[in-house]
Amino acid sequence: MVSMDSAVPARLSRGTAMKSASKPDRRDATRQSLTGLRLRKHAAYQRAYAASRKRQSSSMSWFLAPQPAACPGYPAPEAPRVGLTVGKVLGKAHDRNRIKRRMRDILRRHVELLPVGCDLIFHPRRGVLIMDFKKLEAEVVRILQQAQAEAARMGPVAPSAETAAGPTQ
């Protein structure tokens, strides 16, 4: 009788021996991270809302705002930024988290389509939960392409009077 200990190397971490060699890795080499590309502060969301207008698609609303140009006291915009807002009206926490996971996954796959020099905020509707993933992805890609076209029309952003004065205390 062969013991199980001799078949598994001693230094393998828990669960490693159970992985199948035929199973492909779920991570896609072209998929990128959203780290550094997300809106995090309430003030950044408020500035983006004030500088943009609401646009609608079939399953979400979205806002596109130019990032403020580099001014004394403000960091220069380095990359496009994206924000997701999923309010409590969309369901319980597990539903809201699922919506955010689906949206973040799609955005990671299409980071290169984010409009440079702009902040983009998505407000998904409840239908995103039951929507087919491929349809949702196609809609987000269409929105990203529209946002790129609109960002190109906006051109470079001049500092506003409020941002030219520097940050307020």
Residue whose C-alpha is closest to residue 66's, from 143, 161, 160: 160
- 134: three-class secondary structure by DSSP: helix
Condensed to tens digits (0 to 9), the pLDDT of residues 89-135 reads 999 999 999 999 999 999 999 999 999 889 999 999 999 999 999 99
Alpha-carbon span 120 to 45, nearest angstrom: 9
Q: Which domains does the chain have, with CATH numbers?
A: 42-154 (3.30.230.10)
Digitized pLDDT (tens) for each residue of the chain, 169 residues in all: 555 555 555 554 555 454 444 544 444 445 566 777 888 899 989 999 999 989 999 999 999 999 877 455 666 666 889 999 999 999 999 999 999 999 999 999 999 999 988 999 999 999 999 999 999 999 999 999 999 999 888 766 554 444 444 444 4
Of 78, 68, 160, residue with least CA distance to 116: 78
Which residue bears the tokens 């905020």?
A: 121
CB contact set of 124 (below 8 Å; sequence gap of 6+): 59, 60, 84, 86, 90, 99, 103
Which pTM value belongs to this model? 0.69
* Radius of gyration for the alpha carbons in the chain, expressed in angstroms and rounded: 21
